[in-house]
Structure 1
Amino acid sequence: MNQPKIKRDPEGTRRRILLAAAEEFAAGGLFGARVDQIARRAETNERMLYYYFGSKEQLFTAVLEHAFAALTEAEKTLDLDGIAPVEAMTQLAHFIWDYYREHPELLRLINNENLHEARYIKGSTRIRELISPVVATLARILERGQHAGLFRNNVDPLRFYVTLSGLGYYIVSNRFTLEATFGLDFSRDAERDEIIKMNTELLLAYLLRR
């Protein structure tokens, strides 16, 4: 009697490993995550993990690339070209801050990578390419605002993006220590609304011509 053929799904297996690894790395970092636990969570075995990704370190790099790619894909859903510059910049900032709040695992991965002094991001040309689209979007908004006489001219898009990003990053990445030290829980809607309002005003106060 012929045995039924097992349907192979290499892409599905690879994706399950990637998603399982993202959860493990976000929780325990590169050194804390266990390969056997990743394989178990992905419903596969360690041999397949090494087959698809080569090593635990290469898997960590792939997880970082996947996390940044997801941010880039989400950013592509924004259509800001037809929106007035001030509102477009506000929407872009709020999008980034909301994304950080909804994907704290991205920040945990980045925090862990900083402990490794960005060793794995430095080894990935893809991640640098993935960051470029959102900076380019911001640069176009800046240019439109400058041509309209609304924004100051001496604004570097990349440095402005880093500042904008940091305003949203900090309150998510440090939300537990902020609550423990200052008693402010920025995961609460009311606190978050207040800090977003303040951060938006800070950005626009710098950006707008006086």
Structure 2
Amino acid sequence: MNQTVHSRRRAAGARPVAKRAKETSRTNDPARTMADILDVALTEFAEKGLDGARIDQIAAATQTSKRMIYYYFGSKEGLYLAVLEESYRAMRATEADLHLDDMPPEAALRRLVEFTFDHHLDTEPYIRVVMAENMQRGHYMAQSQSIQQLNVPAISAIEGLYARGLAAGVFRPGLDAIDLHATISALSFFNVANRHTFGLIFKRDYTAPEVVAARRESVVQTVLRFVTA
């Protein structure tokens, strides 16, 4: 037997060992495995929807198995709900790092609007999944035991920010924190959800840096002028 055949056999024999090493590594770090699955699943659900998404594709992209995905999430629907929950959790966790209480009210409100705009702009898969869930009339989100609690800090932050602005005399009275949150979210969400159709209709590239910057400042000014006294 020549050296080339020996080399091929050695190479062929090495592959299962490497694969087992990866599987062992993932088994020993379930948190990382689950995070990888959720990350890939977000894109899969965003691109194909719940019905079109394939667990096989998610398993292949994460170098795991369907069995492992079902072990962690129970079903494709369970994975879809986990993706929704993780998307909201990640956004709220980042919001908490803004330290809005350390800024004057107007500066804090500007920072919150900028963050929301940037987050939505940078996470189009998140926008698509939320759009899809709205088409389902919130059917799967209604089954979540955590999403409502995940979003409580967002409203609490706006309530505190608004109260400080009222006390300082820079915000006008009579506004509702949930309504203000909806306004900020709507303006930021629309910028991503409708940019393709809007761009085609009005012949404007909503991904161009100068257009993004102008739109971002327009959203900020819209909210500030609505809230300030």
Q: TM-score, normalised by structure 1?
A: 0.92
For residue 177 of structure 2, the aligned residue among 150, 154, 157 is 157
Secondary structure, in 3 states, of the residue corresponding to 1:63? helix
Corresponding position: 1:23 with 2:43: yes
Corresponding position: 1:195 with 2:195: no
Q: Distance in 2 between matches of 1:14 and 1:196?
A: 34
Corresponding position: 1:124 with 2:144: yes
Secondary structure, in 3 states, of the residue corresponding to 2:98? coil
1:12-52 deviation digits (Å, cap 9, x = unpaired)? 33233222211211111111111111111121221111111
Equivalent in the alignment of 1:40? 60
Corresponding position: 1:147 with 2:167: yes
Q: Distance in 1 between matches of 2:222 and 2:136?
A: 32
Secondary structure, in 3 states, of the residue corresponding to 2:102? coil
Corresponding position: 1:12 with 2:32: yes
Q: Distance in 2 between matches of 1:192 and 1:44?
A: 38
Counterpart AA for 2:125: E
Q: After TM superposition, which residue ranges in structure 1, 4 or more long, deviate above 4 angstroms?
A: 3-7
Q: Distance in 2 between matches of 1:132 and 1:97?
A: 20
Secondary structure, in 3 states, of the residue corresponding to 1:191? helix
Counterpart AA for 2:188: G
* More divergent stretch after superposition (165-174 vs 42-51): 42-51
Equivalent in the alignment of 1:185? 205
Higher helix residue share: 2
Consecutive unaligned residues of structure 1, counting only runs of 5 or more, are none
Corresponding position: 1:81 with 2:96: no
Residues 21, 38 of structure 1: 8 Å contact kept: yes
Counterpart AA for 1:141: L
Consecutive unaligned residues of structure 2, counting only runs of 5 or more, are 1-16
Equivalent in the alignment of 1:176? 196
Q: Distance in 2 between matches of 1:129 and 1:145?
A: 25
Superposed CA RMSD? 1.7
Counterpart AA for 1:147: A
1:129-182 deviation digits (Å, cap 9, x = unpaired)? 111112211111100010111111101000110011111110111111111111
Q: Max radius of gyration: which structure? A: 2
Counterpart AA for 2:214: E
Q: Distance in 1 between matches of 2:195 and 2:142?
A: 28
Corresponding position: 1:50 with 2:39: no
